[in-house]
Amino acid sequence: MIRNPKPIHIALMVSSILAIVVSLVMYLILDSNLIKVIVIFTLTSGLSFFLFFYTIEFFIYRKIKLIYKTIHSLKTQKYDAVLENFAWDKDPIFEMSKEVINWARDKKIEIEQLKKVADFRKEFLGNVSHELKTPIFSIQGYLHTLLDGAMDDIEVNKKFLIKAAKSTDRLSDLVADLLEISNLESGELRMNIDKFDITSLTKDVYEQFEVKAKQKGIDLLIKEGCNKPFFVLADKYRIRTVLVNLIGNSLKYGKLNGITSAAYYIMGDNILIEIADTGEGISQEFLPRIFERFYRVDKSRTRNDDTGGTGLGLAIVKHIIEAHHQTINVRSTLQQGTTFSFTLKASAV
Ligand code: ADP
């Protein structure tokens, strides 16, 4: 039995069967002589062969070839190239089944990817609404309480206004971070690569956090032996954002009277920058997730009290470092501290 019969095989088989049946009928039922039977056999088989062959070839086979060609060109979108390279000598039914299976598989992968993107969008939208809800509801609550009479109560009116103002600050931080992350994720981000000294940029950021650090008694240090210029090639404005987030977190999650220190190491063409703290640390099970958007180790604490960040800081940091084609890592020990380390391209002095 032929595995992939072509029109010629099918026509040959069907016409032979037909000729045998007709010949047998003539010989056995109509009692015709042998010469007549041979002539009828030859004529029947010859004529029916051409009839079947052309019917299959022109009306069925060519149309299938056309469908196959269309599927193939739709799949690749390179119509002209497909027409030129089309393997007309191959068995089109077999080839078409192969193409259809491949096509269906590709479409399935595409659909799965689109579903993932849709799920991601839904989750992101849910997270954003949830994050916006907390400060908006609290502002709404304070303002309505003031309007309902608390405004005349000298004891609470200022307190409520301060709380409402704090929530508007949170709202504005959140919107700023959301804008930043959407810029970074849109892929249209333009990097302004410049040569600058990362040590003096760290000192700049330390100055910005001086008051906050004093409040917690945290010393902001540059590690011994590292207090000298280290020139890097990077987007200074965005690397400042990275340092603001990492140093800000080291204070937010740092213990009273602790230390935040920065260190720099030359590693071939790159410089490794480390920001370490002596804070509460992060448990190993949470470490792989801290760069995700809105991920917080202690969800209730950070969202509702004064330390409340947006949960987007480290996601922004990771995006910025990856936009520089560099990497960021974290290591941490509970109750001992956390160290974030990232690389930047070194610049010749
Ligand atoms: P947040 O705005 O909540 O600080 P981040 O994206 O900056 O968001 O950080 C994500 C989570 O990682 C934080 O909620 C915190 O639980 C944890 N984290 C980040 N930096 C530190 C750190 N230096 N020490 C301990 N935990 C940290």
Euclidean distance between CA atoms 251 and 212, whole angstroms? 8
298 CA to centre of ligand 1 in angstroms: 9
Q: What pLDDT score was predicted for residue 301?
A: 52
The DSSP symbol for 289 reads G
% the chain with pLDDT above 90: 60
290 CA to centre of ligand 1 in angstroms: 7
The better pLDDT of the pair 283, 70 is held by 283
CATH number of 193-346: 3.30.565.10
Burial class of residue 240 (count of CB atoms within 10 Å of its CB; 0-12, 13-18, 19+): middle
Q: What is the token pair recorded at 55?
A: 């019917």
Assign 212 a pLDDT band (cuts: 50, 70, 90).
Answer: very high
Q: What is the token pair recorded at 65?
A: 């070839």
Euclidean distance between CA atoms 17 and 29, whole angstroms? 17
Q: If you average pLDDT over residues 52-67, what whole number do you get? A: 80
Residue tagged 């920058």 (tokens): 273
Q: What pLDDT score was predicted for residue 164?
A: 95
In Å, the largest CA–CA distance within the chain is 128
Q: What pLDDT score was predicted for residue 270?
A: 97
Domain ranges of the chain: 7-90, 120-186, 193-346
Residue 341: beta bridge partners? Answer: 274, 329
317 lines ligand 1 (CB under 6 A): no
In the predicted structure, residue 141 carries a pLDDT above the cut 60: yes
285 CA to centre of ligand 1 in angstroms: 14
Q: Which residue among 181, 216, 249 has the greatest number of ligand 1 atoms within 8 angstroms of its CB, and so is best to mutate?
A: 249
283 CA to centre of ligand 1 in angstroms: 12
Lowest mean pLDDT among 89-98, 152-161, 292-301: 89-98
Q: What pLDDT score was predicted for residue 333?
A: 96
Q: If you average pLDDT over residues 100-124, what whole number do you get? A: 88
* CATH class for the domain made up of 120-186: mainly alpha
Q: If you average pLDDT over residues 290-311, what whole number do you get? A: 73
Lowest mean pLDDT among 72-81, 95-104, 126-135, 315-324: 72-81
277 lines ligand 1 (CB under 6 A): yes
Lowest mean pLDDT among 72-76, 138-142, 209-213, 341-345: 72-76
Euclidean distance between CA atoms 49 and 13, whole angstroms? 9
User: Model's pTM, two decimal places?
Assistant: 0.70
